[in-house]
Each structure stands twice: as structure tokens, then as C-alpha cells.
Structure 1
Amino acid sequence: MRRIRIAIAAPLVLGSLVLAGCSSWGGQNDNTTMDQMRKDEYKFGSLLGTDGGLNLFGGNKRKGAADAGDPNGLGVNSYLWRASLDTLAFLPIASADPFGGVILTDWYTPPDAPNERFKVNLYILDRQLRADGVRVSVFKQARAGSDWRDTAVSQETAGQLEDAILTRARQLRVAQQAAK
């Protein structure tokens, strides 16, 4: 029993010592002002770049976002993003990442077909409003007794969803440009 207590307490004590030792690890003394710390921060830059983001392929991230019609800095085309959310509004959204351009829905059972359920994974692939800028995968399951079994979904279904999203994105773009 004593060995167990030592085995549990030793990592806790060691972790506390490491954490306490790291608190003064930056080398900053108490006389350093916040302004000086900010100047040092700008002098050396940030781990994620000067604009706070990680840009692996070079170029100006903000410029690319503005070119795509997105002043808010989304990682994908804002028209495609909003059109995707509008088109998939009837499905329960499980996850939505506006910077990666991924929308994952949860299973949805239509009221008129209680033995079927659908799920959609949507990927926005580009910052430009293009016909190949969105990819949709549709999954369908049918009830077999008390279990759900995967069934085939035609490629036409995903294509129709993609077309509906692209049509809505064009409508949003035209409406925004007409408002200017």
C-alpha cells in the first residue's frame, strides 16, 4: 500500500516542482513594463507569424481573404460557407469549422420515412466561388430490426446538394453586389 502512495504522490510532487520552476523561466524581471514586453514581442514575432496565423504556403493571408470576398478573414469563401449553412439548415449540425471549410451533420430522420436516416459531410475546397469549390458526401442508413445498416446513395444526390449550394452562393453574391 505504501508503494502505491509513493507511486501516486511522486508524479504530483515532481509536476508541481516543474510548474513552479517554469513560472520564472522567461527571464523577465519585475521592473519590465508591459510596453517593453510588447516591443520585445513584436521584435521577435509570434510563433504563429506576425498576423497571429500560421501560413504554410506563404503569401498574405488577409489579402487572400479579401480577394475571395471575405473581409472577416474566413479560411474559405464566405458565400459558399453561408450558402452551405442555408442549404443544410434542415439537418442537425454536429460540427462546423469556418476556417477549414468543413460542415459535418448528425443523423437526420425525415418525418415521412422513420426507417431511414441521412448524414452529410460537406467540404469547401477553395476561397474562390467556383463550381468545384464544394464537395458533398451523403450517407444513408436503413433500419433493419433494431439496427441501422448502411445503404447506397446515388451520386446524383450529392450532386444535387452541391448544385443547390452553388446556386444559393451565387444568389448571395449577386444580392451583396446589388446592395453596394
Structure 2
Amino acid sequence: MTAIRNLNRPLAVAAVALASLGLAACGSNDRPRADLAAAQVSTIGVNSYLWRASLETVSFAPLLQADSAGGVIVTDWYANPGNAGERVKMTITILDTDLRADALRVAASRQVNQAGNWVDAPVQAATVQKLEDIILTKARELRRQAIAEN
């Protein structure tokens, strides 16, 4: 009887191992469709939602540079037609492939016209923060739309 038990144990272990391999083979390499809208979409070098949202947000200003591989967007000087005596220039840097608040850095420069000369003026921190918030909100909305479409 002991000899039969000793033979059954290796057979049982082998059967469990084969069953495990069989179950593993049942798995699929197909990813769920929602993964297409994951927070880490980066076929352009940076998070594509942050990139698109940044471009949309500063679309009112002419672009000097847009490097999707490095994640840098630089606008030229923009003067609001309602306030021609002031102009702004923005630099947006996307630092990561993840859709996260700390993956985005916005810097702005401001100048005012004094007697025909452009003079540097301070930019309120709240202005830069508001611009970052707008970009992040748009990026999240783009991601939600991508998930809904899949």
C-alpha cells in the first residue's frame, strides 16, 4: 500500500504541473481595449494626452518650437488684441510618459510696452498654475474620450 502511495504522489504532482501549463497556454496576448487609452501612451516620446492638450491650450499663440520626442513646446510672443501693451511667451515641457501632474512643467515670460520698448515684467504664479490646470484637465478628458471610444 505504501508503494502505491509513493507512486501516486509523483503522478499527482505531474498532473498538477501539466494542468498549470495547460491553463497558462489558455491565456491570450490580447490586451483589453481600455489599455489603448492608458495613462502611458507614448508613441511620440512623451505622454500623448499631455502633448495634445498642451498644443490645444496654446493654439492661440504662434509656435516657435514643437518637439514631440523631447516634449518641448515653445510659443512666440503673443499680444492679446484687447491689451496690445502686453505680450507673453510660454514654454511647456512634458517630462514623462505617464499622465501625471508632475510630468508637466509650464514657464511663462511677460513683457510690457513702455515708451516703445518691451520691458520684462513678472508673471503671477497663479497664471502659470492655471495654465497647468487647463492642460491637465484637457489631457484627462482626452483620455476619457479614448476609453469611451474603445
Give the alignment's TM-score, normalised by structure 1.
0.61
Letter in 2 for 1:69: V
Letter in 1 for 2:40: A
Q: 1:112: how far off?
A: 0.6
Evaluate the alpha carbon distance shift between residue 67 and residue 177 of structure 1 in structure 2; reply closer, same or farther with a 3 A threshold: closer
Structure 1, unaligned stretches of length 5 or more?
1-65
CA–CA distance in structure 1, aligned partners of residues 140 and 39 of structure 2? 16
Structure 2 residue 73 is matched with structure 1 residue 116: no
Kindly indicate whether the alpha-carbon contact (under 8 Å) linking 2:92 and 2:104 is maintained by their aligned counterparts in 1: yes
| 1:87-108 deviation per Cα after TM superposition (whole angstroms, max 9, x unaligned) | 1111111100000000000000
Residues 41-56 of structure 1 mapped to structure 2, 5 A cutoff? none
Please provide the CA RMSD for this pair.
1.2
Kindly indicate whether the alpha-carbon contact (under 8 Å) linking 2:39 and 2:47 is maintained by their aligned counterparts in 1: no
* Alignment partner of 1:141 out of 111, 116, 125: 111
Q: Which residue of 1 aligns with 2:70?
A: 100
Q: Which residue of 1 aligns with 2:145?
A: 175
CA–CA distance in structure 1, aligned partners of residues 138 and 103 of structure 2? 13
Structure 2, unaligned stretches of length 5 or more?
1-37
Structure 2 residue 135 is matched with structure 1 residue 165: yes
CA–CA distance in structure 2, aligned partners of residues 67 and 155 of structure 1? 27
Say how many residue pairs are matched: 113
**Larger relative contact order (Cα-Cα within 8 Å, sequence gap ≥ 6):** 2
Q: 1:83: how far off?
A: 0.3
What is the identity percentage for the equivalent residue pairs of Structure 1 and Structure 2?
Answer: 48
Q: 1:119: how far off?
A: 0.4
CA–CA distance in structure 1, aligned partners of residues 135 and 102 of structure 2? 11
Structure 2 residue 22 is matched with structure 1 residue 68: no
Q: 1:144: how far off?
A: 0.9
SS of 1:108 mapped into structure 2: coil
CA–CA distance in structure 2, aligned partners of residues 129 and 162 of structure 1? 13
Give the alignment's TM-score, normalised by structure 2.
0.73
- Considering fraction of residues, name the structure with more helix: 2
Q: Which residue of 1 aligns with 2:56?
A: 86
Kindly indicate whether the alpha-carbon contact (under 8 Å) linking 2:39 and 2:143 is maintained by their aligned counterparts in 1: no
CA–CA distance in structure 1, aligned partners of residues 39 and 61 of structure 2? 31
Evaluate the alpha carbon distance shift between residue 100 and residue 88 of structure 1 in structure 2; reply closer, same or farther with a 3 A threshold: same
Letter in 2 for 1:75: G
